[in-house]
Structures are given as structure tokens and as C-alpha cells.
Structure 1
């Protein structure tokens, strides 16, 4: 597999669009709580925040269409509803969260300005980049992403090699792998894969790259590079959090821990480096989300540039409004949405990377319907109705781990391929 300059540019661009607010803030605290179980936590986190998103990029490379293609085998109506929900969640939660994190960690400590001013200027710059979307791959891949990667890697390496006799405490988690996997939901990386993967495809087409096989190879290779970068950063940040666990108060929050780690590793200049890192990482993610949403709406309305402009403006305005909330509040609000949409997204990604002979329309519909049904108890529990579903979740396999949908979905996939006649599957009926 050959990695040329174009592959590295696209790979860094993908990495930058994935690597945002949650990607910076979540791993250190996860490692801090993981203690001596940090390796198990890394395994769980990597599944939901690296492997599944990478499969999402592979699915895009295979389809080379729009996000509507991800669920078209279920039904056109379902595909449209799913896509609209994903884009609404994306511009209402992870995109504004990037502005909130930037304000709390990169702007307010130095300038004392209001969140309104920060988010207004922030999303004005996002809009500028989105409206110049033909240059996105080049700007993100050649300039911003390498800076992000180098700064984070510096924090990790200095931290690891500066601790001669690490004192890692016991873990707070009873099931470290599951805790890591569920925390990986909050990165939004699986959803990000189906959103920003489309951005890469549209960007390639704008550049005149229409060779299917060449684009597939480029997208897959760049996805692998982005996945390697994410793995290095996630694993390093989780281990750093565990390594310095005894140096911080047990009730420390995400932002304070990240700031403390940068101060201990990079010294007095650490705060400045961290501010630059936070601003860049968050900004590139916001650009990817708003661009992806605008591309989708433009495609729905026959390629209308006016729709692209209107969507981009609305996305940025929503970012300004939601960006006023505290980042921890946004993370908590996101949990119910993630508990519902994430299982569907994961299953759609898995189905789209499997060979066509295993994924007829009937298989798609059956597996997705089962996933939705068995994710409802987890969703109800996340919105405060745990008393209604607690007994049910205890009965369902993996229900107590908020993964009640997983085994039923996989079982349905196997049953539909083993026991249902091929003629029925090809017709899409039982």
C-alpha cells in the first residue's frame, strides 16, 4: 500500500476533522479514572473511537456517494430521516461544543472575554472556511493538522518519559473495556466518519478526481493514516492521565486535568501551547461538521449553492447560540442522543463494509429494526426513566452495560444469512 504526498494531505485532513473537543478532553480523565486498568480502557475506547470510525471511512470509500447511501437498503424514507437526525445532532452538539471548549480553555483564561464574543468570532471564521470549501483538504492537511499532532505528541512523550517511577492507583471502573467503549461514544467519531467521509469525497470530486478505484484507494489509505494518528493520541493521553493520577485531586474535571497535564509536561509555556492546540483541534472539527451538513442539504436540493450557503449560515448561528453553554452541560445533554443514534450508526457502518452477498435489503432492514428496538431501553434509561427499564436491562444480554442492542443485532445478522433462503433475501421479503 503506497503512501504518497496526496495520501498524507488527505489523511491529516481526516485526522483534523475527527480530532476535536471531545478527543482532547475525554481521554486524560478516562485514564485518570482507569488507573492500573488503563490498557483495558484503551482497548474499549479504541473500538468505538478508532476502529468503528475507520470502518466508516472504508464504507465511504466503497460507496463513494452521500450519507443517504448508508441506509438506502433499509428504505429511502428511513435513510432520509436517519441522515437528518445525524446532521441535526452534529450541528447542535459536537459543533457548538468545539466553541465552548475553545472559550473555556483557550480564550477566557487569557482575555476574559464573554462566550458570546468568542463563539461569534469563532463561527464567523468557520463560515469563511466552509464557503471556501474547495481549499479545505489543502489547508487542513498541509498546515493545521501537523501542528495539532506535534503539540499533542509533545505533551504525551514528555509526560511519559519524565515520570521515572510511576505510581498508578487502582481503577474506578468495574468493567474497564465497556467504560472505555461507552466513553468513546462522546468523541462522536463514528458519527463523524459518516459525516466527514462525505466531505472528503465531495472535495475530491470538486478537484476533478472522478476515478472510482483511485479514489477508493486514496480514501482508504488516508483513513488508515488518520486512524493511526487517532490511536497514538488516544492511547497516549489515556496513559498520561493514569500516569499522573496521583498528582491531581480525585474530583478534578476534564478541562482542569488537561490544563494540569500540559503544565506538568510543557511547563509555563504549556498553557499557551494547549490554547493553540485546543483552538486548532476544535476549529477543524467544526469546519468539517458544518461543511458536511451544507454538502448534504445542497445535494438534497439539486446541487443548489444557495442552499449550501443558507445551511452553512444556519449551522454557524446555531453554533453561536449553543456554544454559550458550559462544555460539561453539552456533554451531558448529548448522552441520550448518542445512546439512540450511535448503535444505529455502528450497525450501518458494519453492514456497509460487509460484502453485498451478506447484506441484502432484507438483512439491512431486519438488523436495523432489531438494533432500534433493543436500543430503546438504553435510551430511556439515559433520559431518567431507568426505573421503567432496569428490570428489562438486567434480563437482556449486556443490558447492564448499556449494550443491550449488540448481541440481538449480530444474532439477527447471522440468522438472516444462515437460515433465510437467498431467493427471499434478494427479493427483500420473508
Structure 2
């Protein structure tokens, strides 16, 4: 297989593994809410739903190890805890949510069947794909993703050509608030987590393609990641613009799911619901397969690549998916919020440190920056567990804490301080020598 064809197939696979339930229902809603300032939320959303996930894949292109290696520079203990927490979140929340979204948008409108039945059939099929993972990239890249892209481009093309919204204003108070609104909606895609979880899947799958050398894999993943990121941005921006252009057709309290459903009906007419149901089912399904494959790979690696461990993890993950996936989407999103506010800052910082040149990302830098990020992300996590009044004193003294970004400046400051200190120490050692 030539390099261009490999790059396109891997790019399609990356696009599909990232593009799940949240990626479908969030962008149009952002456009409706932002009004004429849609480009601000598009920028914020792209940071956490495109840039950070693709950087996560690039980090794996440099690292070319397992997920355990991703956090090892902090400490082995931290890495074990981080990996288990990440996979637990991935298995318990975004993977089951794909089944719930599939039921609410693709099954319930046409069939009077219980969500539990949908969830059972859905994860039975997911399990079959996970157990035949040697075909994962080719099946996703060659067949499923192109169909998803075609349906989306039809909706976006018709939506932009036919939309005529007036220059409506948004209820959000400031440009920065709009950007952060987009950033946190990007959290709901789980794509930074997906970047860390499926990065190892891509590296392992490349070996089955016969790509052996370190440099070949790094170059192929980098080119595929850039292509996938560009595709994601085009789709997201297009859906956000469509939401803005057709915002007059939605009520003030329209949900994310309702916005996407009506947008498809407006653009595609009578067959809109059918197109949308296919789109949702395919996008959600490929995400669930990628998540459970990654979790099974990790557990298998802990037991010397045991096939039995891989199979048992896939079975357990599918059973959890059946159970949690039988609940409605709103419930799963509410449960996910505290976990996202806690794990996302740590994940973002790990990704950024791994893509930096080695001289700026020593083990000491990893330890210090991750510790500070962990400490200053605690208030964001606690907001969902205790009354906000109890945190006012803390939030008032931490810059950006009221925007749930209190960890950003402390992490940057510590990164700079530790690097300056290490550079001075190195210069002093050289002088003494």
C-alpha cells in the first residue's frame, strides 16, 4: 500500500474515532446560542475538539508507546492511576453515551422499543468489531467514515446555501466568555480523552499494516492527524454556521439533540430523519469500538499481551455499556461533568508537555506542572459537588477561576519557573566544571 493511500485511510480512521455522539449534537447548538459571534465559539470549540486531540495523536507519534508511557514521566504510580481513571471514564461514560444517543435519535423516533434492547444489540455488535480488531482501520477508513462525511457535507451545503438568519446577538456577556463556552462544549466531546485512549490503538494497528520504523510511523501519523484535524474543523465550523443561519427556527430552550434533528429536517426535507439516523448510528458506533479496543489493549498489556485479558475486558466494557447506555443522554452528561472538569486539565497538560521539545519537558517539569494543574483544577471539580457559595473565597483569588480555567496560569508560571531554574543550574554546573 502506497504512503498516500495509507495516510488517507488512517486519517479517515482518526476522523471517525474522534467523531462521536457529542461531535454531532454540539456544534449546531453552539451556532444557535452564539448568534453572529459564532466564530468565537467555533474557535473555543476547535481548541478542545480539534487541536488538543490531534496533538494527542502527535504526542503518540513521538512517544510510540502505550498509554502507561504517556504518564510515566510524572511517576509510575501516577501513570497507573491515570490510565485506570481514563479508561474507567471512557468505558463508563462516552462509550455508553453513544448507545444512548443512537437510541434517542435513530431508534426511538421510528420504533417503540425500550432503550435497553437498543443498548444490548448495539454493544453486541461493538463487541464483534472489537474482537476482530485486525480489520478496524480498513473497515472504518474505507467504508464507514466516507458515508458519514458525505451526509454531513450535504446538510452543511444545503444549510449554508438556504440559511438567512438576521444578525442576532448572543446572551453571553463577553468575547472571552463565548470562547470558553466553546471550550467547555468541546470537553463534552471527550476528544482529548479519545486522543490519549485511541492513540495507542493507531500505533498498534500500524504494525499490522507493515509500517515498522519509528520515523515512518511518526511521519504517517503526523500527516494523517493534520488531514483528520482539517476535516474535523471544516465539519464543526460548517455545523456551527448552519446553527447560526437557521437559529430563528429554534426556540430559546431547544436542546442540542432537537437542534440537530430539526436542522437535518430543514435541509433534507422528508428524508432528513432517515439520513440523520444513519449518521448518528455510524458515528457513535465507530467511537464505541475505538474506546473499548483501546481499553482492552491496555489491560491486555498489563498481563503480557494476554488474549484472555483482552477478551474479558471487552466483555466487561460491553456489559457496562449495555447498562449505562440504557439511560437517557441528559443523565449521562450530568454524571460526566465533574469527571471532565477534573481529568481534562491534567490530560491537556500531559499532551502539551509531550509535544514540546525534550529540553523543555524534563521529568521535573512534568512532576511540577502536573501537580500544580491537579491542585488548581480541584475547585472546578468541587463546583459540581458542593454549593458554589462555599467556593467564592477561593475562586475570587485565582485568576480565570470563575471561567473554570483556574489551572491555566499557575501551570504556565510553574512551567516557566522550573525551566529557568534548570537552565541556571545547568549553566552553574558548566562553569564549575
TM-score above 0.5, yes or no? yes
Match of 1:291 in 2: 293
Cα distance in structure 2, aligned partners of 1:48 and 1:69: 22
Contact in 2 for aligned 1:151/1:273 (Cα 8 Å): yes
Q: 1:358 aligns with which of 338, 357, 360?
A: 360
Cα drift, residue 54 of structure 1: 1.0
Equivalent runs, 1:315-326 vs 2, <5 Å: 315-326=317-328
Any stretches of 5+ residues in structure 2 without a counterpart? none
- The alpha carbon displacement at 1:120 in A equals 0.4
- Looking at structure 2, the residues matched to 386 and 109 of structure 1 have their Cα atoms a distance apart, in angstroms, of 38
Corresponding residue pairs, total: 424
Q: Which residue of 1 aligns with 2:188?
A: 186
Partner of 1:267 in structure 2?
269
- 1:279 corresponds, among 281, 290, 311, to 281
**Aligned-pair CA distance for 1:299:** 0.7
**TM-score, scaled to structure 1:** 0.96
The 2-side partners of 1:285 and 1:172 are apart by: 33
Structural mapping, 1:8-407, within 5 Å? 8-163=8-163, 165-174=164-173, 175-407=177-409
CA contact (8 A) 2:127 2:318 kept: yes
Q: 1:422 Cα deviation (Å)?
A: 6.3
Distance in 2, matches of 1:49 and 1:256, equals: 21
CA contact (8 A) 1:130 1:290 kept: yes
Could you list the per-position Cα deviations for residues 74-125 of structure 1 after superposition, in whole angstroms to 9, with x for gaps in the alignment? 0001001001000000010000000000000001111111111101000000
**Using the alignment, how far apart are the partners of 2:12 and 2:3 within structure 1?**
12
Q: Distance in 1 between matches of 2:328 and 2:93?
A: 12
- How far apart are residue 172 of structure 1 and its match? 2.1
Q: How many angstroms apart in 1 are the aligned matches of 2:107 and 2:424? A: 59
Residue 390 and residue 351 in structure 1: after superposition, are their counterparts in 2 closer, same or farther (change >3 A)? same
* Superposition CA RMSD, Å: 1.5
Question: 1:421: how far off?
Answer: 4.5
Q: Determine the C-alpha separation between the residues in 2 that align with 1:309 and 1:38.
A: 45
Gap regions ≥5 residues in structure 1: none
Q: Structure 1: which 4+ aligned runs deviate by more than 3 Å?
A: 420-425
Cα distance in 2 between the residues matched to 1:146 and 1:388: 50
CA-to-aligned-CA distance 1:229-264 (integer Å, 9 cap, x gap): 110111111111111111111111111111100000
Q: Deviations over 1:404-424 (max 9, x none)?
A: 000100111111111235658
CA–CA separation in structure 1 for the residues paired with 2:204 and 2:425: 36
Question: Does the Cα contact within 8 Å between 2:165 and 2:247 map onto a contact in 1?
Answer: no
Instruction: Name which of structure 1's ranges 412-421 and 182-191 shifts more when overlaid on structure 2.
Output: 412-421
After TM superposition, the score normalised by the length of structure 2 is 0.96
Aligned in 2, Cα 1:6/1:333: closer, same or farther, shift over 3 Å? Answer: same
Give the deviation of 1:390 after TM superposition: 2.0
